[in-house]
């Protein structure tokens, strides 16, 4: 049970919140797509993000183990913790990462072949790097598997950054085939903890149980409370803000009375850059590439640097192996024994200072190839890479995207990343007039972990197995106001100006020209003979010069206004009629794509 309590925080955190955003990358109907694809062209003319709720993002992943690695069924079908199995699944170095962000302000608008946006976003990024031997030491102590070996804690460390991003973004469309974009970001740092060097280990002699310590670490902090090595000592260990100093608390803004100093006035500035391009190879293939969070932050306010130079020490006064749980010498006892022995040795190599320093953002790279089935169906293959503690972490994903006019957009995906193969994503966007609501996740299976009692005891292994393999969880939710989307027009709503004109009824010229032509109308008289046969003869034109025909002339003049025209008018009409279509009737070609189409990263005018 104590083993389970130790490892439980990793399980809980891993189901709350993955760092990448595969789903958003393939949903161009969402204005925030430009935050992962700077070269994308949103399909609305004006976008307004509602404060805070326009983009709420959270993610977490654990590369060391999954739920299924910790819990297994015994012979009676009861789920039991199996920490040994979880340890066997770990690599020598493992990561646990949390990310979160929310848009305080988002505004975007389109002007011609350009799209501009502005956003203010609050972000946090946390990484805990834990070596496998650290977990073994906690579970078994330095006996058993570690006896006679060096328990390596190399790489152990934390990285945490809380910052605010002020960004301006621009996308340009080139001839509706190629688009490129960039986002320039001013970064305001608020807190930071970064581990620059972490080298430490404990070696236990197999025969004498003598302990050899070797250690070298260097970490820096900014904006964090001061922590002393010993409560009775004045030797600082972490942080620089003395919580007992009222003047410093007020100046830092941590007491709440001067909160503006915390929110806006710390001297921690940086710059960041996102850039990318999208290129249509042809009407079916789209290539995309983007680089995100290429930048740094300089930390100058309330900084601290804690460093222990390369140091080693051997202590041979212990009889039993160290054990946190179970039999053996306890860590508390070891601390009492070693405190006096090694404190002086450590302090000779220990330094604490308050210099300025800088950190880099976690740079991310996306590359994708998209196949356009038609204007409402798209299939894509994406590659993802992120720089985590001086190592590149990679991922691969496939996605299918469907559009139902402007009302609905849905995406399904499968991705592989962080040593995990159980990542099924889904995304949905609804446009209710100007109100756009979207809900995305890169792994729907993670939500099954939120109900462990049912999923771990369920007799249905099909769903259970996939849920227990979950190592990653992510969600993204938001509400925007979007205006100026192109509406899907019904066929026939718009008249084609180049279509042939309808034939007017009752004109002599048309009647004369249509004589003996099938399918034409005339004012001819049809006579049925007694034999059953019939003859047709055209109406004769009235001779207006003959006398005694005034009534006929009057009728002729009326008829002239309605059904007949003079020879002069007929010849004039023939001269003016120059837009008679020749050849096959075709619909006029427009610059825009067919009605009902949607933007695919660049303008519709393909």
Three-state SS for 506-558 is: CCHHHHHHCCCCCCCCCCCEEEECCCCCEEEECCCCCCCCCCCCHHHHHHHHH
Q: Decide if 540 is inside a domain.
A: no
Over the stretch 344-389, which tens digit does the pLDDT of each residue have? Answer: 677 778 899 999 999 999 899 999 999 999 888 999 999 988 876 6
Q: Round to whole Å and give the CA distance between 382 and 365.
A: 10
Query: In the predicted model, is pLDDT for residue 557 greater than 70?
Result: no
Q: Round to whole Å and give the CA distance between 592 and 606.
A: 7
Q: Decide if 399 is inside a domain.
A: yes
Note the pLDDT of residue 197: 82
Q: Which residues pair with 59 in a beta bridge?
A: 99, 474
Q: Decide if 327 is inside a domain.
A: no
Q: Decide if 129 is inside a domain.
A: yes
Q: Round to whole Å and give the CA distance between 149 and 132.
A: 14
Q: Which residues pair with 286 in a beta bridge?
A: 280, 370
Q: Which residues pair with 129 in a beta bridge?
A: 95, 157
Query: In the predicted model, is pLDDT for residue 106 greater than 60?
Result: yes
pLDDT-based confidence at 131, cuts 50/70/90? very high
pLDDT-based confidence at 473, cuts 50/70/90? confident
H or E element in which residue 195 lies: strand 178-204
Domain that holds residue 72: 2-134+142-193+274-305+362-483
pLDDT-based confidence at 221, cuts 50/70/90? very high
Q: Reduced to 3 states, what is the DSSP secondary structure of residue 579? A: coil
CB-CB contact of 423 with 441 (8 Å): no
CB-CB contact of 466 with 422 (8 Å): yes
How many separate domains does the chain show? 1
The structure tokens listed for 37 are 């694809």
Residues 6+ apart with CB under 8 A from 58: 16, 17, 98, 99, 100, 474, 475
CB-CB contact of 466 with 420 (8 Å): no
CB-CB contact of 606 with 177 (8 Å): yes
Note the pLDDT of residue 144: 79
Cα 288 from chain centre? 14
Q: Round to whole Å and give the CA distance between 260 and 243.
A: 18
What is the DSSP track for 206-269? TTT--EEEEEEEEEEEES-B-EESSTT---EEE-SB-TT-HHHHHHHTTTSTTHHHHHT--SEE
Q: Where is mean pLDDT largest: 28-32, 80-84, 147-151, 265-269?
A: 265-269
pLDDT-based confidence at 249, cuts 50/70/90? very high
Q: Decide if 244 is inside a domain.
A: no
Q: Round to whole Å and give the CA distance between 240 and 252.
A: 11
* Cα angle 309, 314, 316; round to 5: 160
* Cα angle 69, 75, 81; round to 5: 30
CA dihedral 218, 221, 227, 233 (to 10 degrees): 50
pLDDT-based confidence at 448, cuts 50/70/90? low
Residues 6+ apart with CB under 8 A from 525: 536, 537, 538, 539
Note the pLDDT of residue 335: 62
Count of Cβ atoms closer than 10 Å to residue 345 Cβ: 13
pLDDT-based confidence at 93, cuts 50/70/90? confident
- CA dihedral (431, 432, 433, 439) positive or negative: negative
Q: Round to whole Å and give the CA distance between 30 and 200.
A: 47
pLDDT-based confidence at 43, cuts 50/70/90? confident
- Measuring CA to CA, which residue among 108, 118, 175 is closest to residue 484? 108
Q: Decide if 416 is inside a domain.
A: yes
Query: In the predicted model, is pLDDT for residue 271 greater than 90?
Result: yes
Cα 305 from chain centre? 35
Give whole-number Cα distances, 396 to 98, 278, 435, 476, in Å.
20, 19, 32, 19
Give whole-number Cα distances, 512 to 519, 537, 565, 570, 575, in Å.
13, 13, 11, 10, 16
Q: Decide if 316 is inside a domain.
A: no
Q: Decide if 525 is inside a domain.
A: no
């Amino acid at each position: 049970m104590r083993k389970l309590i130790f490892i439980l925080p990793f399980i809980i955190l891993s189901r709350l919140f993955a760092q990448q955003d595969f789903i958003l990358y393939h949903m161009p109907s969402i204005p925030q797509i430009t935050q992962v694809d700077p070269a994308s062209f949103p399909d609305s003319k004006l976008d307004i993000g509602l404060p805070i709720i326009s983009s709420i993002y959270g993610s977490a992943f654990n590369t060391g183990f999954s739920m299924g690695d910790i819990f297994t069924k015994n012979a009676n079908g009861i789920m039991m913790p199996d920490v040994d199995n979880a340890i066997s699944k770990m690599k020598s170095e493992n990561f646990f990462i949390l990310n979160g962000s929310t848009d305080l302000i988002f505004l975007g608008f389109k002007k011609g072949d350009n799209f501009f946006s502005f956003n203010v976003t609050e972000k946090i990024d946390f990484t805990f790097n834990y070596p496998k031997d650290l977990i073994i030491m906690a579970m078994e102590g330095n006996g058993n598997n570690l006896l006679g070996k060096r328990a390596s804690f190399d790489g152990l460390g934390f990285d945490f950054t809380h910052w605010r991003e002020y960004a301006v973004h621009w996308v340009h469309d080139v001839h509706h085939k190629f688009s490129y974009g960039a986002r320039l970001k001013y970064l305001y740092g608020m807190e930071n903890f970064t581990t620059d060097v972490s080298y430490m280990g404990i070696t236990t002699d197999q025969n004498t149980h003598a302990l050899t310590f070797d250690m070298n670490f260097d970490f820096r902090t900014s904006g964090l409370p001061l922590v002393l090595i010993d409560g009775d000592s004045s030797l600082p260990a972490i942080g620089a803000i003395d919580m007992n100093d009222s003047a410093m608390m007020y100046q830092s803004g941590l007491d709440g009375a001067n909160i503006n100093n915390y929110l806006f006035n710390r001297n921690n500035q940086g710059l960041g850059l996102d850039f990318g391009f999208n290129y249509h190879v042809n009407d079916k293939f789209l290539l995309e590439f983007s680089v995100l969070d290429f930048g740094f932050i300089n930390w100058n306010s309330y900084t601290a640097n804690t460093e222990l130079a390369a140091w080693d020490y051997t202590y041979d006064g212990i009889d039993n192996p160290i054990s946190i749980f179970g039999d053996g010498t306890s860590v508390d006892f070891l601390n009492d024994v070693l405190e006096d022995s090694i404190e002086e040795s450590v302090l000779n190599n220990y330094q604490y200072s308050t210099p300025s320093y800088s950190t880099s953002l976690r740079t991310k790279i996306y590359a994708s190839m998209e196949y356009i089935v038609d204007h409402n169906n798209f299939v894509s293959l994406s590659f993802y890479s992120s720089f985590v503690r001086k190592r590149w972490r990679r991922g691969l994903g496939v996605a299918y995207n469907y559009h139902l006019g402007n009302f609905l957009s849905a995406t399904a995906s499968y991705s592989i990343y962080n040593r995990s193969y159980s990542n099924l994503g889904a995304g949905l966007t609804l446009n209710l007039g100007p109100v756009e609501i979207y809900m995305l996740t890169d792994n729907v299976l993670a939500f099954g972990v939120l109900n462990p009692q049912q999923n771990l005891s369920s007799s249905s292994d099909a769903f259970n197995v996939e849920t227990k393999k979950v190592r990653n969880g992510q969600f993204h939710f938001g509400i925007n106001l979007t205006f100026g989307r192109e509406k899907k027009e019904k066929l026939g709503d718009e008249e084609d100006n180049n279509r042939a004109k309808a034939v007017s009824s009752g004109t002599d010229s048309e009647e004369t020209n249509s004589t003996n032509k099938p399918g034409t109308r005339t004012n001819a008289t049809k006579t049925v003979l007694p034999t059953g046969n019939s003859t047709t003869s055209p109406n004769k034109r009235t001779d207006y010069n003959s006398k005694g025909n005034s009534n006929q002339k009057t009728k002729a003049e009326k008829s002239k206004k309605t059904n007949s025209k003079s020879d002069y008018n007929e010849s004039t009409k023939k001269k003016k009629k120059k837009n008679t279509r020749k050849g096959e009737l075709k619909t006029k070609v427009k610059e825009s794509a067919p009605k009902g189409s949607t933007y695919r990263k660049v303008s519709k005018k393909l």
